Structure 1
């Protein structure tokens, strides 16, 4: 059973895609608003130009006849000016003392059009004014208006031409629908293209992650592959870090070996000399020399573990080590049945092999010493959270259980102390379980002792696992 602890931080791909989507959406909304506004202004100006042209067509067709009345039949070439209630009208009204009936288009019917005051809508520099109002049929119309002197006597008339604004709104609505469809297609295509471009651009990071995963899994010693210029410096730094880490481990191992070799002879001399002096003094020297030897071995062991604990190259396959250790124990203890159960292939510990062999070997020796008939060994991968390390991570749970007399809680606590021996009739130094606890602790793991299902001792190890990169 393998897996990886999921990060709560969004992936780089997701973040870039979200930013690109947000920016594209805002940009398209802004573009849509700007184009719609510009198109509306352009359409309204064009509509006013049409009304202005019709207005001057009416002016050119109107005159004062022999009866001193306004006369004329404007031909505007648009049937809507003859359809009642269409919103397309023309009106010629006399001004001042010029007493004559007004002329109107047949489309206006009997209802007139209200005229706003000059204070509300003044004339422009061309002596024209445009305004919107509602006619008697409920149409919203745009009005083009001007005043013209018709003869040399100063008789003048007000000319107005109207157009139905529904035409403008319908034209703008059709354009907006087409614009929105076009922008939606463009936006979707852009997001799709951006997504593909981002995924393609980030592909080298996947290769770098896969290369680093091979280093973590022991399949390679360096990051190998061709990377872009932006990623190659990172790969170079990672390779330099791995090389430095490897040199540090090698140097620590060499120093540990040198120190162990230099202390081995003096301690052996002290032990030999303790046999040549009087018993009382010899026992004191021997006890102190043995304690010194145990302490040296313990601290040298811990120093070696601390030097290589964080190395990305420290890993051990559980199945290989457990099968070999159980096979050895079966040969040494033919009367004891050893059962091995490993939940899932490929379980890998983030530990040096010799440390794994030492902790498991000590537990197996202890179980074989007190077992009556059988010993059960199990290994399973779990996700757990340690109090000293917030956040869940992957661990491997190793349990060794025997069917012996077992220990109560007080005895289990005492058994973990260095040099403590609960049964003096059995061979041993009393260091095995304390060494197991120290080694597992150096790897941020733990050892707990409890009573198993068969009544014997159950030793439960929690050790760090290697997180396998997904294929």
Structure 2
């Protein structure tokens, strides 16, 4: 928008200045020519008067006040040609130096309404002259063509000086107008830039709504955006409520079925128990996905990472206190996750819990900004590494264990959904979960998430 506004204003300014410059230059050219012609007409009238009253002589043509008529080839000339005699006779100024002025009639220049001709022609030494000529008929005293010529270089110089001054002035004016247009566009679009900055803060969790006064043209947009945020927040909260209600509504009957099956004996009871376990896993999985999708849909939440990781480490030390596990934590200060705290606890908690189940005696947790500093979408990322010194996994087992509900060892407690949920939730946030070999020899869980 700014480029379009600036470009259109700059093009319009350039076109206006160009048209104005050409117009002014043309007007000044005509004005200079008229002034020069008026000067020539004064000399012409002086010669006509001298010829008409018989006082004209070559040595004293009249009161010109112009010494260049006496300087050879000075560029200023006069010429009187008698047309009623054959051959024609010409009397010229001393400056013509045995040369003659061209006749404008021979060059196709038409007479004006007052009987004069005005035009440009090449004179002595091929110099460009501005010539004014008039035919005077004195009856029995003769018929004469009287011409006055002046160096057109004076006209050209005045016009060139004016055009240079005009060009410099218009360039400076155009530059000033373009700069002023840039400031005007930037100032005019500042409210939109402020809306964008506030939306970034909303996305990063710094605010929940657009605040401040906006111009009348932008205020409806800000209001609609606030309304959209409110509606989105209501939808998310409603979805969370429905997920919770559904969880309670399904888990209670399923628990009753499982308890009744545990009390019974035989193949039928065993089959019911087996199916009840599968149903519980499926319900847990889909309810968890619905809850996570609702959580991710709400923009603007950020969570400090270090307190969450340290709290999970303390919790796991208490849960697995009988195994005497050492859980080391190394987290960067002020590192923040762009998402809900509950989701971060869900992902990291599952990874740490899985590591504690398989570790022999040591679990290491580290959280820091991601090395490349920005992800594929150009936003900051963070990285959480959870290492253990357990048996680890082969590449084939790593791919298999991320499958939904897949457990490699049925002797370990759990539903087999932990790593699959972490992987799916990380993908919803634009991150990923990768499994590799840890430096301690066990499994390394490499979790990449959006940061702030």
With normalisation by structure 1, the TM-score equals 0.86
CA contact (8 A) 2:325 2:356 kept: no
Q: 2:150 aligns with which of 154, 163, 184?
A: 163
Alpha-carbon distance between aligned partners in 1 of 2:428 and 2:417, rounded to the nearest angstrom: 16
Shift of 1:444: 4.1
Give the secondary-structure state (helix, strand or coil) at the position aligned to 1:401: strand
Does the CA-based 8 Å contact 1:395-1:463 persist in structure 2? Answer: yes
Structure 1 window deviating more from structure 2 (174-183 vs 230-239): it is 174-183
* Separation of aligned partners in 2, 1:347 and 1:22: 47
Correspondence list, 1:48-447, <5 A: 48-63=37-52, 73-97=61-85, 101-115=89-103, 117-118=105-106, 120-150=108-138, 152-153=139-140, 155-331=142-318, 332=320, 335-342=325-332, 345-349=334-338, 351-372=339-360, 373-381=362-370, 382-385=373-376, 392-447=378-433
- Which whole-Å CA distance do the structure 2 matches of 1:286 and 1:314 have between them? 41
1:419 and 1:305 map into 2 onto residues whose CA distance is: 17
Structure ranking higher on relative contact order (CA contacts 8 Å, 6+ apart): 1
Change (3 A) 1:119 1:187: closer
Q: What is the CA–CA distance in structure 1 between the aligned matches of 2:86 and 2:74, rounded to whole Å? A: 30
Extract unaligned runs of 5+ from structure 2. none
- Could you list the runs of 5+ residues in structure 1 that have no partner in the other structure? 1-11, 386-390, 467-471
Number of residue pairs matched?
A: 446
Give the distance between the partners of 1:69 and 1:106, measured in 2 at CA.
12
- CA offset digits 1:24-77 (Å, max 9, x no partner): 2332223222211221122223222322232122111224759x9999622212
Gap change, CA 1:323 and 1:23, over 3 Å in 2:
farther
Structure 2 residue matching 1:228: 3-state secondary structure: coil
Please say which of residues 171-180 and 181-190 is displaced more in the overlay: 181-190
Alpha carbons 1:149, 1:155 under 8 Å: kept: yes
CA deviation after TM superposition for structure 1 residue 165, in Å:
0.7
Distance 1:401 1:154, change over 3 A: farther
- Separation in 2, partners of 1:320, 1:199: 42
Aligned partners of 2:68 and 2:276: how far apart in 1?
120
> Cα distance, 1:251 vs. partner?
1.0
TM alignment of 1:6-21, pairs within 5 A: 12-21=1-10
Deviates more, 1:113-122 or 1:74-83: 113-122
What is the CA-CA distance between 1:149 and the residue it aligns to? 1.2
TM-score (norm. length: structure 2): 0.89
How far did 1:425 drift? Answer: 4.4
State the SS of the aligned residue for 2:94: coil
Question: 2:443 maps to which residue?
Answer: 457
Distance 1:71 1:256, change over 3 A: same
Instruction: Determine the C-alpha separation between the residues in 2 that align with 1:310 and 1:47.
Output: 81
Whether the 8 Å CA contact 1:70–1:101 is kept in 2: the answer is no
3-state SS, counterpart of residue 114 of structure 1: coil
Question: What whole-Å deviation, never above 9, does each CA across 1:178-203 have from its counterpart, x for those lacking one?
Answer: 22232223223223333333332223
1:358 Cα deviation (Å)? 0.9
Q: Specify which structure has the higher proportion of helix.
A: 2
